[in-house]
Structure 1
Amino acid sequence: MSQTDVLLHAAVAAAGRGWPVFLLGRSKRPLANCPQCPKRGQPGAHAPEACTHLTCHGFYAATTAIDRIEAMIATHPDGLLAVRTGASPIGAGVVVVDIDPRHGGRYDPDLMAPTRCAATGNHGWHLFYRHPGHPVLSRPLPGRAGVDVKADGGYVVLPPSIHPITRHQYRWVDERNAEGMPPRLTELVLSPPAAEAIPSATSPLRTRPAGVCVGSADSQIRHPAKLVDVCLARVRNAPEGRRRVTLYGAARGVARAIHAGFDPDTGIALLTEAGRDADQTDRDIHAAITDAFTAEGLTP
């Protein structure tokens, strides 16, 4: 069986569980919008969730429709399979605990009960738990280095995708149904984000050298999503000739929002889309995000 056939089989199986799936590019970035999909601010532009195009707008293209899944994989046979996490029916009805040993992540049996589990392509783990029915923020798990929560507004790569760097395959190691989160994990996942001494999206913004999107030094980021919106708007409104440096500055702002709890994968996806809307190449977008995140102490 070819890798494309294996991918299709896995995608159909996920859809059969009620999991909306979509495809990422080989670099784990969202696929580019199709040429017929208008850019924001242009005639015919639409909200991402209303788009009917096959693979546009990242996880907004996630679906359980078999015909669309078949068309996605036929068009992008080298893509990585991904599932939109969060409450159903928009998401898969799961919260995923993403353990990344490269950043100190460890499995804690006292906190993380056995459940459906995948080994990731970078030697980590994805633990799939049943969504509790309350809003769950996609963010780092409080107090746990190298462990993220992927839930509302997030996504994770699924087996049998192949990691673009290690070339190792994602694989299921426990295929039971997603279990409910134990009480201690539920408490952590649902706990309100702690305020951090980082600039606020509601504070007066100023510009650092290279166009960094930040706020006053003595403020806090209480609303990371609002800061992200401000930074993305700057990219979309940047004049020609300033778009690349503005994208870099916006990426540094998004990195700060990630430090305050915003989901990293969603931040990268939104920056990628904004960069494409600003007519930047994928190579320049990747470089801007990588350099900006590194400057803010993140590894994209």
Structure 2
Amino acid sequence: MSGPAPALLAAAESYIEAGWPVFVLGRTKRPVANCPRCRDAGRDHDPEACACLSCHGFYAATLDLDRVAAMLSAAPRGLLAIRTGALAGLVVVDIDPGHGGRLDPALMTPTAAVASGGGGWHLYYAHPGPPVLSRRLPGRTGVDVKADGGYVVAPPSIHPVTRTPYRWTARQTVGEMPPPLHAAVTAPAAPSSQPTRPPATAGPPARRPTGGDDSAGGGISRPDLLLAAHLAAVARAPEGHRRTTLYGAARGVARLVAADHLTATEAWAALADAGRAAAQTEREIRGAITGGFRDEGVPL
């Protein structure tokens, strides 16, 4: 291996020892493009179980060092990344001063931290267990939450623009989120201001439930609360009812996608992570989500 790959591989080994799944991005902080077979496979193709080295973005993340070595051999100038969320036990607060982000000592207590190559900071906290969506931290300009359905660039990757390496500022342990931060990362997001649209259907409209949300009236007034409620229902579903609950959640989340409150990719990641946290198999997760979207007439 040439270039920075040996240092990246050594770092990957330390992250794997910590239980953090890692993968390799392209040169521009974006995932490596899917191979033609995966690109054309559609949603019936399980990204989590795919044998390709680097297809499907963070779904390629692994705790297998040999696979990481093969990724780096295939993309020696790529960037190392860590998949965040419940799978890694991580929630990362990403502060970007270039977009107005600021460190709030009262909210963001000391923990393991990275100085990003772009001049910001990544603060690593322990995941609380229930799903935490990757999104903008409510009420905070230039501060993002990287958790379920997300990833962060990891040291010692080189920033593609500044050519500055990502580096650990203090290798202390990953801390628990203080109560104010926990409340902030789990707080409902502001309602979307985008106009709603009816879902595309290939035939007669799917039958809607007669209650449970306000989408039947043609709009969703609080999509943030509705999404959180669907995910929470999956998290507390008793054994024997988890797949059915995930299917119902998928139907509800499909209506959020149809109304442009989130993308199909975001919906799939949130629902799949909720299903995994509820100890469902990949086959059960895929069947529940695809079935829910299909029965709502919403394409994935």
TM over 0.5: yes
**Is residue 66 of structure 1 aligned with residue 65 of structure 2?**
yes
Secondary structure of the 1:9 match is helix
Query: AA paired with 1:143?
Result: G
Q: Deviations over 1:15-54 (max 9, x none)?
A: 1111100011001111122345461249xx6121121111
Distance 2:39 2:181 in 1: 42
Report the CA distance shift for 1:20/1:41 in structure 2 as closer, same or farther (over 3 A): closer
Match of 1:76 in 2: 75
Secondary structure of the 2:223 match is coil
Q: Computing the radius of gyration over CA atoms, which structure comes out larger, 1 or 2?
A: 2
Moved over 6 A (4+): none
Identity across matched positions, percent: 53
Match of 2:84 in 1: 85
Check the 8 A contact 1:19/1:83 in 2, yes or no.
Answer: yes
Report the CA distance shift for 1:55/1:228 in structure 2 as closer, same or farther (over 3 A): farther
Query: AA paired with 1:58?
Result: G
Match of 2:26 in 1: 25
Q: How well do the aligned residues superpose, as a CA RMSD in angstroms?
A: 2.9
Match of 1:119 in 2: 115
Report the CA distance shift for 1:174/1:119 in structure 2 as closer, same or farther (over 3 A): same
Distance 2:42 2:158 in 1: 36
Distance 1:220 1:81 in 2: 40
Distance 2:22 2:121 in 1: 19
Deviation at 1:193, TM superposition (A): 2.5
Match of 1:238 in 2: none
Query: AA paired with 1:147?
Result: V
Query: AA paired with 1:34?
Result: C
Check the 8 A contact 2:3/2:77 in 1, yes or no.
Answer: no
Distance 1:196 1:35 in 2: 34
Secondary structure of the 2:48 match is helix
Distance 2:160 2:193 in 1: 35
**Is residue 12 of structure 1 aligned with residue 13 of structure 2?**
yes
Query: AA paired with 1:118?
Result: V
Deviation at 1:205, TM superposition (A): 6.0
* Higher RCO structure (Cα 8 Å, ≥6 apart): 2
Matched length: 223
Deviation at 1:194, TM superposition (A): 3.1
Select the residue among 173, 178, 193 that pairs with 1:177. Answer: 173
Distance 2:190 2:39 in 1: 38
**Is residue 204 of structure 1 aligned with residue 186 of structure 2?**
no
Match of 2:240 in 1: none
TM-score (norm 2): 0.67
Select the residue among 99, 123, 129 that pairs with 2:95. Answer: 99
Report the CA distance shift for 1:194/1:165 in structure 2 as closer, same or farther (over 3 A): same
Check the 8 A contact 1:119/1:170 in 2, yes or no.
Answer: yes
The residue correspondences of 1:37-56 to structure 2 (distance < 5 A) are: 37=38, 39-41=40-42, 46-56=45-55
The residue correspondences of 1:92-171 to structure 2 (distance < 5 A) are: 92-171=88-167
Deviation at 1:100, TM superposition (A): 0.5
Check the 8 A contact 2:96/2:119 in 1, yes or no.
Answer: yes
Secondary structure of the 1:127 match is strand
Could you tell me which runs of 5 or more consecutive residues in structure 1 were left unpaired when the two chains were aligned. 207-216, 232-252, 267-300
Q: Deviations over 1:244-296 (max 9, x none)?
A: xxxxxxxxx6xx748xxx69xx8xxxxxxxxxxxxxxxxxxxxxxxxxxxxxx
TM-score (norm 1): 0.67
Distance 1:60 1:230 in 2: 24
Distance 1:229 1:49 in 2: 22
Q: Deviations over 1:128-185 (max 9, x none)?
A: 0000111111111111111010001100000111111111111110111210000100
Could you tell me which runs of 5 or more consecutive residues in structure 2 were left unpaired when the two chains were aligned. 201-217, 228-252, 270-300
Check the 8 A contact 2:3/2:76 in 1, yes or no.
Answer: no
